[in-house]
Structure formats: C-alpha cells, structure tokens
Structure 1
C-alpha cells in the first residue's frame, strides 16, 4: 500500500507539472494584448512596450514559465496584472462561494442517486423502476442552463420562495441569506449530476444482484432486498467511490456555467471575466488550483478504493 501511495503521489506531481505547462502555453496563444488593455485604446506602441517590459511580458516564454513555476513551488500563484492583488487571496475569497456550492451540489446528487438508483435496479421489471430509469436518462440529457432557468421560473418567479440571482454583499455574515442564494444553483447542478450518477448506481446494483454470493445469500433464506443490503451494497459503494472523482470534476465544470447564470461571485465567474480581460496570471493561477484539486480528488479516490477493496490488495 505504501509503495502504491508513493507511485500515485509521483504521478500526481507529474500531472500537475504537465498541466501547468499546458495551461501556461495555451493561454499565450489566446488573441488579445494585455498591455494594450492596460494602456487603453489611445495608447502609443511605445507605451504598450513599456508596460510589457514592466510586467515582464517581453521576456522569452521559457523564462516566464520557469519564474511562474518557481512561484508555484513556493505557494505563490502570482499577482493580477489588472488589480495588483494576489491570485491566492482572490481565490480564497471566491472559494467561499464556489466550495459551498460544490458541496451542496454533491450532497444533492448523492441524495438523489443512491436511494433511487438502488430502487430502480430492484424494481427494474416493474413500471415504477422502468419509469425512474427513463426519467433519469431524460434529466441527464437536459442542458444545465435550461434546467437552471426552469428552476428559477418555478421557485423564484412563480412561487417566490428563493432568490433568482445574486449573493449577499456581506457573504456568510448572514448564513441564512447566503444559503438561500445557493439553493437553486446547487439544485441545478445536483439534479443533473444526480441523474447521471443514478444510472451508474443502477448498473452497479444490477451487477451486484447477479453476483454469486448475493444469489447464494438469497438461496439461504434471505429476501432479495436483505441479500442486496447485506452483501451487495458494499460492492456498489466501491463502484460509487470510483466514479465520484468524475462527478466532482463535472460539478466544477457546471459551477462555471451556473455562476454566470445566477451571478454568483465565485471562481467560475472570475475565470470568465479574467479570460476576457487577458489577466493571464490570475487565469493560470486559478486553472492550476482547480486542476490540482481535481487531481487530488482522483488521488484520494484511488487510495480509498484500494484500501476498501481487498481484491486489489490481494492482487498487489
């Protein structure tokens, strides 16, 4: 287990290094000139060149990358070209919106997918189980923007229960108002991701029902449901742990869109604005932080799965 953990750690660090290089080079081929944006439309080429020299943008790209990579190794994500604030400081402030949104979305997805996925598998031969499976497939195909708009129409416009957009200016100083502002965005992401995860849970449950030890338990006198709960659900749990890394990545992608729709001051909305403004240090710092988080989640999922699954330990 220790050797496996060390190998996965080395792969995690290698993945972060490759991701940082790809992010840095990709952002340099985007159209637009940050020096021109800072100097203004009426600026002269000499003024723009002076800004490039002051910001270090006139140096060779390998030197710029090595300097930025050195900062990352020291925990410095860089400084915004437009505002002069630290990228890490801005990410922490924006994460106070994005992280709770992601946690709420994940909890909703699990609350929807786990019980309904098992129910759909157990009742697969009946009308309610089949209808639930068809409904999950239809919901998984719904665009997240359209789903958010429909939830706004129902719960904000028609019923008036929840705010349609925005986030309290005082943020979490008023936890009730902040939580109410996140309910509709979290429902939008959680229901879509939950529908996708439900189909996976259903498939894993059907596979567990067909395993020999579950059928043997049922033959010894246990009901089919009791045999599944006692002997099949641990296998389903291992499968769910495996796919959770992909679900978390999907939630992060969904948050970028949803924060625009609901005007939430999170990391996703910040990224969209900074890409348009060509604030390269801020964009690349945020992207590296998000990439590192996704890779770290995959790393934890791999270790957890190996620790919980005795078959992998025996193979090793």
Structure 2
C-alpha cells in the first residue's frame, strides 16, 4: 500500500503539469483582458496606455514565458498578486479557504449522514411506503438545482416565517460556534442535497444486492439480530460503490460552493473566484483552479485507500 500511495503521489506531478497547462491556455483564450476591465472603470485608453498596463502586469511577454514564470512561482508557493487590488493572492485565500472548507465539510457530512441511513432503510424495507418515500426524495434532490432550492428557501423563509437570511459578517467557528453554524448550516444542506440523493440510490441498490448473498442468509439463519446483520455483515460490503459516489460528488461540492456562496453572501473561495472571473483577474483564477484540482486529485486517492480498508482482499500491486 505504501508503494502504491507513493506511486500515486509521483503520478500527480505530470497530472498537475497537464492541468496547469490546460488552465493557463484556456484562460488566455477567453475574450477580454485586464485592460478591458480597467478601461471600463476609467474610460478608453490609447495604445501607449494599454501597453503600459500590460507591461506593469507582465502580460506583454510571450505566453510560454508567462507560463514558465507562473509555474516557477507556484512551485515556490508564490501565488502572485491580484491584478485589481494588488494584494497577495495567498493572503486573500488564507482567510477564505477555512470558510469554504467548513462549508464543504458540513455539506459532505450532510451528504453522508442523510444519504446512507435513508438508503439502508429503503433497502431493508423494500417496496414499502418508507422505500417509496426515500426513492422519491432521492430523485427530487437529484433533479432540483441547488441554486433554485437556495432561492426558494430564502423567499419562503422571509415570506411565511419572517426569517431573513443572516446578513451579518462571517464569524469564525472558534469565535462564535452558534452564530457560525446559523450562517452556514442551511447553505451546507443545500450544497450537499444533490449528492445525498445519489448516495441514497447507490446505497439502496448496493444493499439490496448484498442482502441477497448467501453469507447474509447464513447470518439470518444463525438468529442474529437485524441490527447486527445489517451493520456488521451487509453495510461494510455495500459501501464500496457508495464511497465511489461520495468521491465523485466532491468536485460537485467544489463547483456548487461558487453558486451557494454567491447566493448567501458567504466570504469563501467560491465567491472570491467568481469575482475574479468577472474582472479577469488571472492570478486568482489560476491559483483557485490549481487548488481545487489538487483537492479532487487527493480525494480520488483517499477513495482508493478507503477501498482497501473496507475490503482487505483489495490489494494494489
């Protein structure tokens, strides 16, 4: 296992090289540039002014040279400075990453804690009212867009319950846990909702398949309690495809955070990223893309390691 993990870590080098190259090239192909943004604020600029702006931001150099310099700074953990504010991207992200990380972890926790239990209950109560309700809920969560649910909750809460979305500034979990959870709990539930629908369906399908196996019938014939049979014998073997779905939902959580943070005015990485895209602030967009790519790559590695823990017969050679 140690050799496998080391090999996967080494394979991340060419993977990240390809990702950085793709991100860099795609951003250069987008219409508009930082000069257009500045012109929009201060009026049109002549060619001399435009060239001066590009030179000031080192965007007048050849694209390959820009790429090499950018990768060199990334290797030294220098994310550069914002083209708009002039502040260090690393300093800006250091205050926003914990916010998005907490939101993502809460969403993932909701995803797992709701999806797996309902999926198990639907499987052991197959074709009952509970099963039909669980399947309907799963389809609804998968079908409804997260941003639409967020807007519906905001409007209904304000109209029928006289509850307004908290508009106060973000408070750290360590500073005021209750206020922090009040700000993030509903957005996290919305963000993790679609993923929990997929987890419900895969858990139900996997559990139904496992419950038909001979060793489960043997466990029943021994007179074991239902709780023991389900949790000790069936669930662990049914979790492998579920873990795959959970791993695949992580990119969705990262992407969904951009919309949810914008709707609920959460000062996280997603909202910062969206603002940078609108202003064509390349250092921020590039840094966030690379960071999220690393999150997805490490999440896939964690899924593979979890496979071998759930089923010791799985070995990576």
Give the C-alpha shift of residue 93 in structure 1: 1.1
2:305 to 303, 306, 310: 303
Which 5+ residue runs of structure 1 have no aligned equivalent? Answer: none
1:229-274 Cα deviation digits (max 9, x unpaired):
2211111233333332212221111111111111212111111111
Give the C-alpha shift of residue 189 in structure 1: 1.4
Give the C-alpha shift of residue 187 in structure 1: 1.8
Q: Is the 8 A contact 1:97 1:265 kept in 2?
A: yes
Q: Identify the residue that residue 7 of structure 1 maps to in structure 2.
A: 7
Q: Identify the residue that residue 206 of structure 1 maps to in structure 2.
A: 208
1:39-96 Cα deviation digits (max 9, x unpaired):
5323211011011112111111111111111111111122111111111211121123
Q: Which moved more, 1:283-292 or 1:9-18?
A: 9-18
CA distance in structure 2 between the partners assigned to 1:152 and 1:249 by the alignment: 25
Q: 1:44 to 1:170 in 2, by over 3 A?
A: farther
Q: Identify the residue that residue 164 of structure 1 maps to in structure 2.
A: 165
Q: Is the 8 A contact 2:123 2:208 kept in 1?
A: yes
CA distance in structure 2 between the partners assigned to 1:150 and 1:142 by the alignment: 11
Q: Identify the residue that residue 48 of structure 1 maps to in structure 2.
A: 50
CA distance in structure 2 between the partners assigned to 1:14 and 1:167 by the alignment: 44
Which 5+ residue runs of structure 2 have no aligned equivalent? Answer: none
Correspondences of 1:104-123 after superposition (within 5 Å): 104-123=106-125
Q: Which moved more, 1:22-31 or 1:142-151?
A: 142-151
Q: 1:2 to 1:178 in 2, by over 3 A?
A: closer
Q: Identify the residue that residue 64 of structure 1 maps to in structure 2.
A: 66
Give the C-alpha shift of residue 220 in structure 1: 2.9
Give the C-alpha shift of residue 308 in structure 1: 3.7
CA distance in structure 2 between the partners assigned to 1:189 and 1:230 by the alignment: 30
Q: Which moved more, 1:137-146 or 1:151-160?
A: 151-160
Establish whether residue 230 from structure 1 lines up as the match of residue 225 from structure 2.
Answer: no
Q: Which moved more, 1:81-90 or 1:6-15?
A: 6-15
Give the C-alpha shift of residue 170 in structure 1: 5.4
Correspondences of 1:168-187 after superposition (within 5 Å): 168=169, 173-187=175-189
Give the C-alpha shift of residue 32 in structure 1: 0.7
Q: Identify the residue that residue 264 of structure 2 maps to in structure 1.
A: 262
CA distance in structure 1 between the partners assigned to 2:154 and 2:278 by the alignment: 27
Q: 1:183 to 1:157 in 2, by over 3 A?
A: farther
Establish whether residue 239 from structure 1 lines up as the match of residue 247 from structure 2.
Answer: no
Q: Is the 8 A contact 2:73 2:79 kept in 1?
A: yes
CA distance in structure 2 between the partners assigned to 1:295 and 1:302 by the alignment: 11
Q: Which moved more, 1:266-275 or 1:124-133?
A: 124-133
Q: Which moved more, 1:99-108 or 1:237-246?
A: 237-246
CA distance in structure 2 between the partners assigned to 1:306 and 1:230 by the alignment: 17
Q: Is the 8 A contact 2:219 2:229 kept in 1?
A: yes
RMSD of the alignment, in Å?
Answer: 2.0
Q: Identify the residue that residue 77 of structure 1 maps to in structure 2.
A: 79
- How many residue pairs are counted as aligned between the two chains? 314
Q: Is the 8 A contact 1:208 1:236 kept in 2?
A: yes
1:289 to 291, 295, 308: 291
Q: 1:228 to 1:264 in 2, by over 3 A?
A: same
Q: Find the residue that maps to 1:312 and give its secondary structure.
A: coil
Q: Is the 8 A contact 2:138 2:200 kept in 1?
A: yes
CA distance in structure 2 between the partners assigned to 1:145 and 1:90 by the alignment: 25
CA distance in structure 1 between the partners assigned to 2:144 and 2:54 by the alignment: 45
CA distance in structure 2 between the partners assigned to 1:303 and 1:251 by the alignment: 21
Give the C-alpha shift of residue 153 in structure 1: 3.2
CA distance in structure 2 between the partners assigned to 1:13 and 1:165 by the alignment: 42
Q: Is the 8 A contact 1:152 1:184 kept in 2?
A: no
CA distance in structure 1 between the partners assigned to 2:170 and 2:107 by the alignment: 22
Q: Identify the residue that residue 27 of structure 1 maps to in structure 2.
A: 27
